Amino acid sequence: MKVVIIDDEENCRILLAHKINKYCKEATIVGEASSVKTGVNLINEKKPDLIFLDIQMNDGTGFDLLNKIKEIKFKIIFTTAFDQYAIKAFKYSAIHYLLKPLDYIELIDAFNRATKEVNYQEQTKGFLNSYQNGNFDTICIRTEDNLYKLLLSEIELIEAEGSYCIFNLEDKKKIVISKSLKEYEQILPHENFVRVHRSYLINFNFIKEFDYKNSDIKLKSGKRVPVSRRKKNNFLKMALDTNHIELKKKN
């Protein structure tokens, strides 16, 4: 991971660089800067993955520096002797806010978080390109702790639970993520997935039968999913148009 240190105090830069080299083995320090102006130039030149940024410097603040960057593609860890800027720092999506003198355990934790974020972006870049082209048979989903690459063919059902989604997989495993069902309704191919209710997005391939009387679907797992009145006609039309499943009428 390419790292840049921006701090107007030389001794702070030296100490931080020493701790990074000692405790953050995946880090490569590609440059240091001592001001807002030189920091902006360094970022534009080196294009780092992560910056350690002081807040109060001789020619402005770390926030001034960030406001001068056209597009922030790097992760930010603030390092400062002042604790009153913490809330503002997190408005810039900072990974962490470290107070000087830096504690090496907090430094390791902050760096590990940044590494996870950078790795996630790299892993999902290819998936996002595939989604935009409409040509994919896997999807990448992320929980707070893990990244999962799932085959579309193993997703039986996605259900909404408040502001979360629950992926129900063929092997009975469930994965909870903090994204809306609508996002997946837009991403997933309509020839395989259909929204049948405000709380349910189902994979056609897992339908066992449709009960016209009760307006619900029985899935291969045995789970029953309601079809809302508003979604029923669209569901039936898509089922007929796709022509890759056989719906069983249950009278």
Q: Give the integer Cα–Cα distance in Å for 186 and 61.
A: 41
Tell me, yes or no, whether 95 lies in a domain: yes
Q: How far apart are CA 61 and CA 250, in angstroms?
A: 68
Give domain status of residue 145, yes or no: yes
Question: Is position 24 within any domain?
Answer: yes
Q: Domain for residue 128, yes or no?
A: no
SS3 146: coil
Domain shared by 178 and 106, yes or no:
no
Q: Are residues 178 and 92 in the same domain?
A: no
Burial string for 78-102 (b: 16+ CB within 10 Å, else e) reads bbbeeeebeeebeeeebbbbbeeeb
User: Tokens 């029923």 sit at which residue?
Assistant: 232
Q: Does one domain contain both 64 and 40?
A: yes
End of a domain among 73, 92, 123?
Answer: 123
Chain centre to alpha carbon of residue 139 = 13
Task: For residues 79 and 161, state if they share a domain.
Answer: no
Distance, CA of 41 to CA of 35 (rounded, Å):
10
Q: Angle at the Cα of 53 (from 51 to 54), degrees rounded to 5?
A: 165
Please give the tally of structural domains in the chain.
Answer: 2
Same-domain check for residues 147 and 219:
yes
CATH number (domain holding residue 163): 2.40.50.1020
Q: Using CA atoms in the order 172, 177, 183, 186, what is the torsion angle rounded to 10 degrees?
A: -30
Range of the domain at 114: 2-123
pLDDT for res 247: 54
- Side-chain half-sphere exposure of 97, counting CA atoms within 13 A: 16
Alpha-carbon dihedral angle through residues 47, 50, 55, 59, given to the nearest 10 degrees: -20
CATH number of the domain within which 82 lies: 3.40.50.2300
| pLDDT tens over the chain, length 251 residues | 999 999 999 999 999 999 999 999 999 999 999 999 999 999 999 999 999 999 999 999 999 999 999 889 899 999 999 888 888 888 888 889 999 999 999 999 999 989 988 876 666 555 555 555 455 788 878 887 777 888 999 999 999 998 899 999 998 899 999 888 988 888 888 888 999 999 999 999 998 888 888 899 999 999 999 999 999 888 888 877 765 445 555 44
